[in-house]
Structure 1
Amino acid sequence: MRIIPPSSVHIDTVLSHAADPALAPLGQGFDPLISRSWQRCIQDYGLDPAKPAPPRFVPRQVLLDHQDQADELINVARAGVEQLYRHIAELGYVVLLTDNRGITVQFLGDPDDKASHRKTGLYLGADWSEDHAGTCAVGTCIKEQQALTCHHHDHFSAHHVSLTCTAVPIFNPQGQLLAVLDISALQSPPSKDSQTFALQLVKQYARMIEDAYFLRRYRDSHILCLDSSREFVLINRHYLLAMAEDGSLLAANTAGRQLLAECALELPLRPSALAPRIGVQQLFDCELEDVFNIPYASADHVRAFRTHRQNALYFAALMEPRRAPVQALASSRELPRCALDELADDDPLMRKMLARAKRLCSEPLNVLLNGETGTGKERLARALHESGNRSQAAFVAINCAAMPESLIESELFGYQPGSFTGARGKGMRGLIQQADGGTLFLDEIGDMPLHLQTRLLRVLAEQEVMPLGADKPIKVDIRVIAASHRDIRQMIEAGQFREDLYYRLNGATLKLPALRERADKGYLIERLFTELSEQRQRPPRLRGDAMSALLGYAWPGNIRELRNALQYALATCEGDEITVDDLPEQCLPSPGPRLPVPTEQVRTLSADPAAQLEATLRRHRWNVSAAARELSLSRPTIYRWMKVYNIVPPKAWE
């Protein structure tokens, strides 16, 4: 008996069903979305299931154009795409975000399966439009503008029958298709029911991305948040309506538009002065004043309204528009500017720390700053000085770790003429005297030698300094802000730091979080980028793919490393915008999630990874970048492996 290949059965099923949709395959019920798509593929596109076209990838420049047009969406969707991938990666799925034409503009998948993903089209730059790829989750979702799962033999092309793909549309605030979120797997159980949970999960994340995009676009408007539950309205925000000052509705998310449709209301696709305006009073039995008073109506800032048409009850919260900074008082005088306010945006840890710093900025207390290297301790110290009552006097900074031990004493305390060989003929006022009336910032105080710690302790205790070679002390009025990335308490226990000096310095402690822990990385990136580019005649624009890479990087060097990366990008970019390709190599995103240790990448190397790695490095004359490219690993991973296996380059190549 001749066995018919599964592909032949699939081809016959597609052709017969497309010719007569009443014929359901194998006598089973059939998804009408798939049925309509099969008919389009044959009747409208002229596709042949027996001649499957290979995956099509757009050229690099075309991909960059598509990413540029989807720039704002990619920036907003990044966190949702990465979070979704973390949920499904272990199950063998990949995540694709395509634009409304089916071009994959963002992709996350296991780097080890790169070849298989590219072979099936599950990769960045792939074209999943239905008129080319045939019936597929993305292309059919774009045509039908509905969520669906295209499972195994639902696909038109026999090239794709091994895949299971689930796609959900993302709409812009006017209800037009913006993008498609898709998860796909190379292998899955035969039953389509196995993908039911996948469909619900992708719907949830598509809604989150859509709503985040909505909130971004209308952050300068009032946004009415609605839910059928009072307890969840502040969390769930199921319905979102953007509202003008006069109460007219500007836009709505998908759920909001459905609510308006149920109430026989419809927003114009393109709002204009001539289009009829829908007011919130047409939706709810209320006055406009009732809506704007929501934040003051109750203790939980929630108010209940009923719809006119269905008399359905909804609970409402109001998000007020982002306000421009107040520029003047009622007296027309400018408000005093606080330097501390510029150090953070909406990060909770920073805001809590800065609130304490504002209370301390004019107090006669010495302050100790803690935080990893590069977190901005000197900038915080300077902001404390500029925000306090010593701002008109000097701010003097010294890095105790960068200055040779032999010079710290003379630099700090100064000296009289002829105090030692090589001294200036007129002597020198030390940094402590220069800071008289102002602030002395001692960075990396943990690196100050013990014998100088004793002298500094006396200065703080007596408020006087004794220059080298002087006969009598000189009175000074200083405030000391000290900083260290080291654990001073451990140093005290090890006998490396004086405990009494620690308590003199530690009138108050402020701790700076690492950049990777901060929720306002976007604000910091934009602020630093503006600072660094303002000297240029035509500063470039920071494109969304570059911003996504910067937001996704772990920043072990903190703000200092971020500043260096932006300076590098500004120096190397050739056009009027900075793309992801202009960033330093260590900041470039990998196809999959960043891994903190190299153990997951051992499969890339042979059974003897140390020998293979060393051989590869020698072959490339210890060029780490070239070795990383050959092994499909990042440079940091190569360096980690070199450290693990104690592979040290010859002196000639260091």
Structure 2
Amino acid sequence: MKAQTRSLQQHADRVIQHVMSAGADPSSSVVHQSWARCVNDYGLDPGRPRPARIVTSDVLRVHQDAADELLNVARAGVTQLYQEVAGLGYVVLLSDAQGVTVAFQGDSSRYAQLHQAGLYLGADWREAHAGTCAVGTCLHEQRALTCHHHDHFDGSHIHLTCTAAPIFDPFGQLMAVLDISALGAPSDRRSQNFALHLTQLYARLIENAYFWRRYQHHIIVQAGESRELVQVAGQYLWALDSEGRILAANTSARALCQRMGGVAVAGGYIEENTANEGSLARLLDCSWSEMLRLMGHSPLDIRALSTVDGQLLFARMIMPPSPRSQAEVLAKVSPEAAEPDPVREAPLPLLDSLAGDDPAMRRTLTLARRLCRRPVNLLILGETGTGKELLARRIHQSGAVPEAPFVAVNCAAIPETLIESELFGYEAGAFTGARSKGAVGLIQQADGGTLFLDEIGDMPLSLQTRLLRFLAEGEVTPLGARRPHYVKCRVIAATHCDLESAIREGRFRADLYYRLNGAELLLPPLRQRSDKAYVIQSALHQVCEMRGRTSLHLRADAMSVLLAYEWPGNIRQLIHALAFAEAMVEGDEVTASDLPEACRLGGHAAPAKVSSAAGVLGVPHLLDGPPILADRRLGADRSSCSERLPDEGELLKQTMARCGGNISQVARQLQISRPTVYRRLKKYGLGHLHFA
């Protein structure tokens, strides 16, 4: 007894000494600030323990009636949390915003001890009465915390360990505090770290359950950072009206909105039952009508959306249960009800089929839809294998004259000595070896249609000047000709190189860059796309069509491998891998063992990063695997880039040695053209290796 009294006195002395020396220093800990409030604001004495205050049954009933709506959903959470911690000696308390415990779960065999300690139904844990404690201090601070042993102000509580987390309503107002407490625990406060995380988890579960109940007759958008878990553990919740305006949001969603700066939700930004000017479309990079089209049909439709600052979220929309309410909302996307949308009034399936719900691709395709029938030159940027030529072809096919010619030119594959005659054509006898009747250049062949200049960054400077003149004046003068030919075509250029760096280094003309860059279309690498599963299935369908298969599907383990792999060669490498699997599979089901070894092992080379006007692009390094698994092309994709492959010349030398100098074999192994091999040999001074 004397030891207990001495311990209480020592605790009281320590509290008073700290308060007298530090006062209410705002830089001190939460506990020490609470001690200062207890002494200075509430007039409490740590040396005079106060008995636990348990309100009468009538007062308790008043508090429970006021919290009835919350208790309807919270009781299940309190019971489930108690089942998790009961074996460790904890009890669970749910206190209202006044600090009175309105729900309680504990060991019935210890009710007398728990009642005496205040760990009981009806206990009042406000700081003004109980001093520093988890519930009371959590009410004041409105954040989760642990009050462990001597953190308590009142000496009669120093044997307790208590952890509490706040529960907020959909407008950011504190509704309740969830607490787990034990009569005894190890002295080290780190023993309560897990208790803090667990209490916070259940506080959020109760808060979200209350949100769902409160707004069950409204549109609810649920979002999270994982597509697989969003239905069961969506982090963000918004309640919306039929116009997409935010009516309410849970704690995580409010924090996200406030971080975006200006989307008005709760916490002093909106009030209940008032019109809110903040809309979810302002937060997410997607119009309200587009959101309804993407998600408004089934709660199972989980779509990738991005916030205005680029954070990727996966979301689903739950419509109100009333059929009439659903009809009113979905009417917003009908041509009669919705505002005119020139992009969507005429669907363009050839473009739309290039992506699923990836936000970056959706932005690119939206821009492509708007520009496909406009005489605007386009510049497509993207890593090797991302589908730049395919996008260019789809833009052409979706244009006003899809039957017009589409002429593709790989500026890196044509020998430098021939590129001028290939592009601009020539008259009969213009040079030695010229055709007797001359030849029409590729630019002139594109008259009335589209000229696609792939790897424009590899075009020699001398040709850039002539191309610039064509773009400025619309006329082409073939070699040996005296009069120009007028050509009208749209030019789409593409590159994986950083043209801005090439301009600074004098390798690319700035005036040509701006002539070509009427608009930039950026293709993200496959590893960054949120619709990777859609791309994989589309590529599988393409492979099946090429091989004449009617049915072929991926087993779950194969899909998991393909989703996990980083694809440095992007979609081109994916198609090679699926073609390999199609050749290996014995039935109609592709398993992980049918995939290339590089995919199964997850081996990849990290791409080098270069900047571009539209963002950051990566240039893939070479893989160590066979050509079918990797894009090992040299000049066709990499010459004249600011980021060169340091082992490009060495690889060419080794391949020449393996092939005995046979240029055809070298070209096949490296998947490049013979002229490109000659150009690379000259570039690296390896011409002496050519003896076949």
Radius of gyration: which is bigger? Answer: 2
Structure number with the bigger relative contact order (C-alpha 8 A, sep ≥ 6) is 1
